[in-house]
Structure 1
C-alpha cells in the first residue's frame, strides 16, 4: 500500500486535478493507494477571510462566499463530467451549509476556535469528494473516506492532539476491509472523542498523511507539491538553486523550520518515529526525481545541505548592567513571552551576560515589547536594565547540514562571504550540534545573501559579477562588445559569470537584474527611462546585487563625485575617468579608505596608459617592498599621435582634428593639449608611489599659443590652431634643427613632478616612440640604472575598453 499526499497547489485547478488523477491511476495499477488531499489552493485563507468579515459585521462575507462557490463550481465544470449530479448535489449541500454557518457568525458576531475549525474543514471535504467522484465517473476504483471518522483528537480546537491508539485502530480496521484501489482522504480535518469537528493545525494535511502512513506502516510516504523536492535554497530568489536528492530527517526539519515550505516538521513525527522515508515529488513534473528524506547516509560531498530563511523577523534585545551575575532574567523573559503565546525563533546571549537577543515574528513585536517592559518595569525604573529594544524589517538566514560539525571554517566562510557584500549581521546563533548556523540580517539583503552564499557553497566556484556601466559612447560601446564576446570564455575558463545589469548614457538608462540582452542593447537603451546620475546610483543600490561593479566610462566630474557613495554600498568602482584620482589628496585617500572599509574594489588602471598595466606594475613594485625614486614617461597617446604626425608639410589644426576623429583625444581637446590630462596621470603615479601631492604642485609648462590657452570654447580653440599655425611650426622647426623629436614628457623625481613638451635627442628611449604609444620608465631601488619600462598603445577605444575589462576581471579573480 502507498500513501500519497497532494497539497493545495496540486489540486488548485482542473488541470492539476487531472494530473493528480493520472498519477493515482498509474500507482493503482500495481498497488492500493491512499491519497490525502488539501483544500483547493487558497481556499482555506478565503474561508478564514469570510469568517472574519462575518464576525466583524462586514457584509462582504457574502462576496467572499460567492468567490469560494465559483472556484469550486468552475473546477467541476472544467473537469467535463457531464451530468455529474452526485458531485453537484454534494457541492450544493456543503456550500449551503457553509453559507448558513457564515450567516450565523454574522448574526452572533462571534467566531470561536470551535466554529473556526468547522468553517475551515469545508475546503478539504469538498476537494476530496470532487476528486474521488471524478475518478469513479471515469471508471476508476476509488472511494472518498472522511478522515473525521478515522482520526480522533481531544477538543483543543485549531490544533487538536491526536489520540493515536484509537486513530490507529480506526485506520487499520478500515483499510483491512476496503476493496477500492484508491482511497481519497481529506487532510487536516478530524473529530474529537465527543464528536466535535477539529483540525490538526498548520501542516495538517501532511500530518494526516503521516498518521495514516505510520498506522499502516508503509514503506514510504510521498508528499506531492508544486516543486521538485527540497531545494538547496529558495528557487524563487536564487535561480541556480537545485533539488536535493537525499536529505536526513534532521536536515529537512532544520530547513523547514527556516522557511522551506515543502514540509512542516511536527507533522511528520509519526513516520519519523518509525523511520519511514518521505519522498517529496512534483505534481506538475511527476518524472522529476524529487527529494527523499530518511535516516540513511546521504554521502554528500558538501557539508552544507541547504540555505534557508525566515522573513518578517523582529529582534528583541534585553540589556543592562544590572543583569550581570543576577540569575532569573532569562527565566522571567521567556515566561513572559510564553504567557503571551509568542514563539521564540532564535536566541543568542553575550557571554558577558549584559544582553539577550531574541528573534520573533514581526507581527508579535509590539505585544512582546509591552509585555516585557511591564514585567521588568521595576528594573527599568531603577536603571538596572533598558526598556526592551525592538528592531524590525529583519530576516534570519541559516546554513543547514549534518556534516558541518566535521568541517572547520564553515561559519568563517559564511560570515566573510556576507561581509564582502556589505551584508551586516545583527545577531548570530549556532547550536553545539553544529547542524545549523543562523544569522539575522536586514530583510532587504535576503536575496543578495542567499545568492552569495549559494554561490559560495553550492556552485562550482563560479563568481557572478553584476556590472553597471555609465557612459556607452566610443569606449563604452567597445567595452560592452568585448563583454558580449568574452562571456562564454570567462565562465568556462575563469569561472566568472559576467552580467551587465545596468547601462546609461547622458539621456537614457536601462536595468535588468538578470542581465541585459547585449545583442540589442542599443535599441533597449533608446527606449529606456530618463537618465540621471542619482537615479542610476539609486537603482544600482536598490537592486542590491552581489559583487556589483560600477564602471565609469566618462570624463564627467559629477560622476566621479559619486564614487564614495558607490563604495559605501560595497559596490566596486572601475574608472577610466581620471578626475577622482587626481582631485584633492584628501578625496583620493578617502576613496582608498572606503574601498578597504567596505571591501569594495576601486580600480583605475586606465587612468594612466589606457590598457597598459602601468598602475598594476607600480602597485606590485610597492607591495613587494620596492621604492620608486623617479619616473619618466610619455603618457599621452593623443599628444604622441599629434607630434608624430605633425611636420612642416602638415597643419597642426588638421593633425589635432584627425586625432579627435580617431578617438585619441577627449571631446574637448584642450584637456589633452593643455597638459592637464598628462599632469593628472603623473599625479596619480606619484600618489600610487606613496607621495602626498596635489595637481597644483605639478609644474606644467604649456606649449599652446597664448590665444589657445585663453580660448573660451572648443570651436574658439580650433580657430586659434589655424591662426597660430606659425607658433606650432616654430616648435617643429626648432626640434628638427637639433635632430630631435617632440615628445610631451611627464617627470617625477625627488618628490617633485612636471609636464611639458621636450625635444628628445636620437638614442633616447622616447625618440622612436611611434603613433599613439605610451612609455613609462620606473627607476626604483631595485632598478636604479636600467629602469622598468612599460611601452605600448596608450590611447584608443579598444585598448581603453580592454583596460577597463581587465580591471573587471581582476575583481572577479579576487
Structure 2
C-alpha cells in the first residue's frame, strides 16, 4: 500500500482538485492507496478567525462562515455532476449548520475554549475530504471515505494532541484488514480523544496524519504532495538560486523542517522512521518531476551541506550572573519555568563558565517568558547574584544542515567568515555534538542577505554575486555598463562572478531593480525612472541589504564624494573614479580607510590616478611588502599630456583643449585639469597611499594659466579667455622649441615636499617621448634607488577609465 497526502494548495480549488484526483487515479491502477487531504487553501485560517471573532462578540463571524460555505459549494458545482450533488450538499449543509451552532455559542458566551477551538479548526478537513471523496468516486468507483477521528486516538491536549499509538495502530490496521477498497480517503489534521472529543494534531498535522497511517499499515512509501518540487537547499522565495534536494536522510529532513522548511511538518518523520518507510516530497502541478526522497540511505554527494534553513520571529533570552557559576540546578529551574508556561525552546547555548544561559524562543512568547523567569529568580536578582533576564527581539535563526558535516573540517569557519564578510552580526551560536546542525542567531533584517550569502558559498560552485549601485552614467559610466554587458557571461563562467546592476542614477533620474536591471535597454529604463535623489538612493541601497553590495561613483561631484561613509558603515563597498574624497582633508581620507577596515567593506579608487593603469595597486603592494617610497616624479594628467602633445603652430591651444573635452580626456570643467588642481589631487593621493600625511594646501601649484583664465566662472568664459590669451600659450610653445624641449605638466614629491607645474622637458628625459594621453610615474624607493619603478600607459579616456573601475569591481569579487 502507498499513502498519499495532498496539501492545501493541491486542493485549493476545483482545478487543483482535478489534478489531485488524476494523480490518485493513475496510482490506484497499480497499488492500493490511503489518501489524506488538507482543508482547502486558506480555510483553516478563516475558521480560526471566525472562532476568535465570535468569542469577542463580533457578528462578522457569520460573514466568514458564509464565505467558507460558498467556497465549498462552488467546488461541488465544478467537481460533481448535478445528478450526484444531493447527498454531498446535505452533508455540507449539516456540517456548516453545526459550525454555525458552535460559533453562535462562542458569541453568546464570549469565549472560545481550547476544546471548541479544535472542533472549529477541524471543519476545514471534514468539509474538503467529503467533497473530494465524492468527486474521486466519479473516477475511482472502488473508493471510500473514512473519518480519521474513528481510527486516530489521542489524549485531550486540545490544540496539539498526543497520539495513543497502541490504540491507533490497532484501529487503522483492523480497518484495512476488513475492507477491500482500492482507495480510502481520510481528512488530515483531525483526530479524537479516547472519550470521543475532536482533537487536532497541530498546524501542518495533515502530514502527520498520513505518516501515522503509513506506519500503521507498513506502507511501501509515504508521498507528500505539495506545490514545490521537493525540499530545497534553501527557501526558494528568498534564495532564487535554491535547488531541489534529490535525496536526504530522515535526520537531515527533520532538522530542516524544524528550522523552517515548511514543505514538511516536523513530527511527520517520526512514525515512519522506525520502519524505514521512505517519504517522497512531490509536486502536484509537476508530477513527473522526481522530487525529494527521504530515507535512511540517501545518495552520497560531494557537498556535506544538504540545506540552509531559518526560523523568523525569534527572541533571544539571556540569564547571566556570577550566582550561576557552580550552582547546580540553575538550568533545570530555567527550563521548568518555561515548560510551566508552555513556551517552546527552539535554541540553546550556554557558556562553558556557566556564567550565562542563552535561549531562543518565539517573539510572541518573549514578554511572558521574561516575567516568569524574573519571578522565578527574584531572590538571586535582589541579591545581585543574577541579572534580570535580557530580551532581544526581532531575530532569526539560520541553520546549516548536513549529515556529513562532521566528516569535513572548517564548515563552521566558512559559515562564520562568509557572514562576517557581509557584516551579518552573529548574536549567538549553537552546534550539537553530532555536528548535523550549526545554528546562528542573526538580526531579522539580515536574514535574506545571510541565506543568499551562505547558499552562494556552499551550493553555487563558489559563484559570487556582486550587486552594483551605480551613480554617474555619462561617458565613462556608459562605457562601464557596456563592459559589464559584454563581459557578464565570461565573468560567470571563468571567474565565478555574477555581476548585477541593481541601481543606476544620473543627476535627473534613478532606477532600482532588486533582480538586476536589464542592460540591453538601460538608457530607456533610466529615462522612465523616478526623480533622482541622493538620500533616497542611499536609503534604498541600505534597505535592500543585498550581499556583496558595491556603490560605484562615476561622477566628479563633491556631494557624492561626501556620502561614501554612509555606504561603508552599511558594509557596502565603494569603487570610485572621483578624486575628491581621497584628496579631501586628511582626516576624512583616513576615516574612510578606517571605516573600510572596520566594516569589511573595500574602498577602491585605482582610477583616481592613471585611469586604468595599475598605479595605486602597485604602490599598495610596495608598501605592504615593507618598501618605503622616498620620491615620486610623474606626468599624471592624460588630458594635459594630450593637449601639449597636440598643441602646435598649426593647432592652437583653444582648439586642442576643445578636442580633449570632446574625446572625454578632460573633466566636465576643463579648468580643473588646466589649473593643475586635478594633478595636485592625484599626487596627493599617491603621497598619502605611500604613508605620508599631507594636505592639498601643502602642494605648490605652479599654474601656467593667466590669472584671467583662472578667474572665469563657467566654461564659455573660460574658452573665450583661452582665445584672448593665445599669445601667452604660443610663447610657451616657442620657448620649449628654443630649448629643444617639450612641455609636460609634472608632479613631484621628495623630502616631504610636493609640487605640480608645467616644465620644459629635455630630450634625454624619460618624460620627453610620452605621447598622446599617456601617463608615467616613477617611484624611487628603498629598493628602487638608482633605477625607479616605472609605470607608463594611457592615463585618460572614457574606455580606459571604465576598465579601471571594472577592474576594481573584479578585485572585490576575487576577495
TM range (shorter): over 0.9
So what's the TM-score if we normalise by structure 2? 0.98
CA drift at 1:632: 1.3
d(CA) in 1 for partners of 2:443, 2:552: 27
CA drift at 1:171: 1.5
- Report how many residues are paired: 814
What do the CA deviations read for 1:63-109 (whole angstroms, capped 9, x no partner)?
Answer: 11111112112222232633322222222221122112211221222
Does structure 1 retain, via aligned residues, the 8 Å contact 2:313–2:363? yes
**1:498-647 matches, cutoff 5 A:** 498-647=499-648
Question: 2:137 is matched with which residue?
Answer: 136
d(CA) in 2 for partners of 1:268, 1:668: 70
Which SS does the other structure have where 2:285 is aligned?
A: coil
Question: 2:15 is matched with which residue?
Answer: 15
**1:185-264 matches, cutoff 5 A:** 185-264=186-265
Question: 2:318 is matched with which residue?
Answer: 317
**1:284-363 matches, cutoff 5 A:** 284-363=285-364
Which SS does the other structure have where 1:344 is aligned?
A: coil
What do the CA deviations read for 1:231-278 (whole angstroms, capped 9, x no partner)?
Answer: 111111001111111111111111111001122222332111211111
So what's the TM-score if we normalise by structure 1? 0.98
Which SS does the other structure have where 2:346 is aligned?
A: strand
Q: After the TM superposition, which of the residue ranges 290-299 and 707-716 deviates more from structure 2?
A: 707-716
Change (3 A) 1:163 1:697: same
1:116 equivalent in alignment to 2:121: no
Does structure 2 retain, via aligned residues, the 8 Å contact 1:578–1:680? yes
CA drift at 1:300: 2.0
Which SS does the other structure have where 2:641 is aligned?
A: helix
1:656 equivalent in alignment to 2:657: yes
CA drift at 1:212: 1.0
**1:620-769 matches, cutoff 5 A:** 620-769=621-770
d(CA) in 2 for partners of 1:481, 1:589: 33
Which SS does the other structure have where 1:519 is aligned?
A: helix
What do the CA deviations read for 1:529-573 (whole angstroms, capped 9, x no partner)?
Answer: 121212111111110000000000011111111111111111111
d(CA) in 1 for partners of 2:246, 2:34: 24
Does structure 1 retain, via aligned residues, the 8 Å contact 2:250–2:269? no
d(CA) in 2 for partners of 1:186, 1:622: 73
Question: 2:422 is matched with which residue?
Answer: 421
d(CA) in 1 for partners of 2:738, 2:351: 81
d(CA) in 2 for partners of 1:451, 1:756: 51
Does structure 1 retain, via aligned residues, the 8 Å contact 2:25–2:139? no
d(CA) in 2 for partners of 1:570, 1:152: 55
d(CA) in 1 for partners of 2:567, 2:163: 57
Displaced runs of 4+ in structure 1, greater than 4 A?
A: none
What do the CA deviations read for 1:421-453 (whole angstroms, capped 9, x no partner)?
Answer: 010001111111111111100000000000000
Which SS does the other structure have where 1:96 is aligned?
A: helix
Q: After the TM superposition, which of the residue ranges 481-490 and 334-343 deviates more from structure 2?
A: 334-343
* Structure 2: gaps spanning 5 or more residues: none
Question: 1:394 is matched with which residue?
Answer: 395
d(CA) in 1 for partners of 2:651, 2:230: 75
d(CA) in 2 for partners of 1:763, 1:665: 28
What do the CA deviations read for 1:335-367 (whole angstroms, capped 9, x no partner)?
Answer: 111111111111112223222211110001111
d(CA) in 2 for partners of 1:270, 1:712: 83
Question: 2:51 is matched with which residue?
Answer: 51
d(CA) in 2 for partners of 1:381, 1:447: 41
Task: Provide the alpha-carbon RMSD of the alignment.
Answer: 1.4
d(CA) in 1 for partners of 2:78, 2:637: 75
d(CA) in 1 for partners of 2:595, 2:59: 59
Which SS does the other structure have where 2:310 is aligned?
A: strand
d(CA) in 2 for partners of 1:140, 1:458: 47
* Structure 1: gaps spanning 5 or more residues: none
CA drift at 1:495: 0.7
Q: After the TM superposition, which of the residue ranges 158-167 and 20-29 deviates more from structure 2?
A: 158-167
Question: 1:77 is matched with which residue?
Answer: 77
1:813 equivalent in alignment to 2:814: yes
CA drift at 1:641: 1.1
Q: After the TM superposition, which of the residue ranges 416-425 and 525-534 deviates more from structure 2?
A: 525-534
Which SS does the other structure have where 1:10 is aligned?
A: helix
d(CA) in 1 for partners of 2:696, 2:641: 22
CA drift at 1:139: 5.4
What do the CA deviations read for 1:610-636 (whole angstroms, capped 9, x no partner)?
Answer: 111111111122222322222211110
What do the CA deviations read for 1:12-63 (whole angstroms, capped 9, x no partner)?
Answer: 1111111110100110111111101111111111111101111110111011
What do the CA deviations read for 1:615-668 (whole angstroms, capped 9, x no partner)?
Answer: 111112222232222221111011111111112223222221111122111111
Question: 2:778 is matched with which residue?
Answer: 777
Change (3 A) 1:354 1:139: closer
Does structure 2 retain, via aligned residues, the 8 Å contact 1:248–1:298? no
CA drift at 1:720: 1.4
Change (3 A) 1:255 1:637: same
d(CA) in 1 for partners of 2:324, 2:607: 57
1:42 equivalent in alignment to 2:42: yes
